[in-house]
Amino acid sequence: MSEAGSAQLVEDGSRLSIRGDWTLEHVARLATLCANLQGKIAADSRIDARAIGHIDTAGASFLLDLAGADPARIDVDRASTRKLIAAVSRAENAPPAKRRRKDRGFIAILANVGQTLDDIWNDAIALVGFIGLILAAFARSALDPRRWRVTSTVAHIEQTGLNALPIVALLCFLVGAVVAFLGATVLKDFGASIYTVELVGYSFLREFGVLLTAIMVAGRSGSAFTAQIGSMKAREEVDAIRTLGLQPVDVLVMPRVLALLVSMPILTLVGMLAGIIGGAAVCVITLDVSPLMFITRLHETTGVRHFWVGMSKAPVFAFLIAAIGCLEGFKVAGSAESVGTHTTSSVVQSIFVVILIDALAAIFFMEINL
């Protein structure tokens, strides 16, 4: 056990001799010792600490109290002890840090806007790079069919496609009914209620069918991809895959991308049919249009090009949703909170990108008169 520190006045009180260990272990004894010595030490007396044992910051602080906060009055032999006392002296004499006032004004708004724009730019760059990795993985797999993971791909097709059919069909049916009801209500004032058929057909074949499906897939499958890969990242399973000599993009990303590329067009077709059926139900009930008349008018006035315009966007949306979902999963830092944060980010980014691409596609097809 170490010897507790001691102090003794010598030479008629002109010098204070220090011995023993001045450490945190003996802080109670040292505090009592220093309290008893206060007032007995002359202002110009020296503190002889050359025979001191072990010392830490607590002991150095007590010595400075005895020396009147003047490290020059303390005599020591070891350079390490001298540096420790000097460091404690600087820390005790340092002025208190000024608390920076949080700016909540215009500058703070600009800073937040700038930070947000920088985050968006970094996310865009990361997404472009990740898409490049996926395309490179596809190229490698095309040259080596043994890389295809059929079982995993089929399982994800069931998860993203078959299990999502009921909710996509119901959503599109209800939206189709709402669009038809609003169209019939507005067009009735102009005596053109029959054009509700064209409104429902155009809207769901070109836009609503694929857009509603993409939003549902982003919220359902994209978030699931992020949560699954994020959980694996948190449990260090992704690192284990790399340790086995496998590429996480080949094992985790490609089956999900392929599954969504297969499921999305099928879901889009179901969404188009469900939306048109919902609109037809409203037309039959409110406009006294027979189902045969609805189908005949839809066939005569709605060209097949509208169907292909909507279907052409489905694979693009599927690829982007899968890429964003998987990328956000790989960004998980290792905690449950991070999984939740990146899952939310995945849904928001996917829906934003889908709507942005859909708007650009609408302008493009309008310009080429398609």
- What's the confidence (pLDDT) of residue 99? 67
Which letter, b or e, does each residue of 23-61 get, where b requires 16 or more Cβ atoms within 10 Å of its Cβ? bebbbeebeebbeebeeebeeebbbbbeebeebeebbbb
Tens-place pLDDT, residues 257-279: 999 999 999 999 999 999 999 99
109 domain-assigned: no
Classify residue 365 as left (phi > 0), alpha (psi -120 to 50) or beta.
alpha
Residue 64 one-letter amino acid: L
Contact of 170 with 277, CB cutoff 8 Å: no
127 domain-assigned: no
Domain CATH number, residue 60: 3.30.750
Domain around 165 = 144-367
Among the three residues 62, 77, 93, which one is the final residue of a domain in this structure? 93
Among the three residues 52, 74, 93, which one is the final residue of a domain in this structure? 93
Co-location of 165 and 53 in the same domain = no
187 domain-assigned: yes
pTM (predicted TM-score) = 0.70
pLDDT band with cut points at 50, 70 and 90 for residue 303: confident
- What's the confidence (pLDDT) of residue 6? 77
Among the three residues 32, 58, 93, which one is the final residue of a domain in this structure? 93
Tens-place pLDDT, residues 82-99: 888 888 888 877 776 666
Co-location of 61 and 185 in the same domain = no
Q: In angstroms, what CA-CA distances link 278 with 274, 282, 309?
A: 6, 7, 21
Co-location of 79 and 151 in the same domain = no
Higher pLDDT, 35 or 132: 132
Co-location of 80 and 188 in the same domain = no
Number of domains in the chain: 2
Contact of 207 with 306, CB cutoff 8 Å: no
Question: Residues for the chain: how many in total?
Answer: 370
362: buried, middle or exposed (CB in 10 Å: 19+, 13-18, 0-12)?
Answer: middle
Co-location of 73 and 164 in the same domain = no
User: Which run of H or of E encompasses 75?
Assistant: strand 74-75
98 domain-assigned: no
Tens-place pLDDT, residues 316-344: 999 999 999 999 999 888 778 888 888 99
Q: What is the DSSP secondary-structure string of 124-152?
A: HHHHHHHHHHHHHHHHHHHH-GGG--HHH
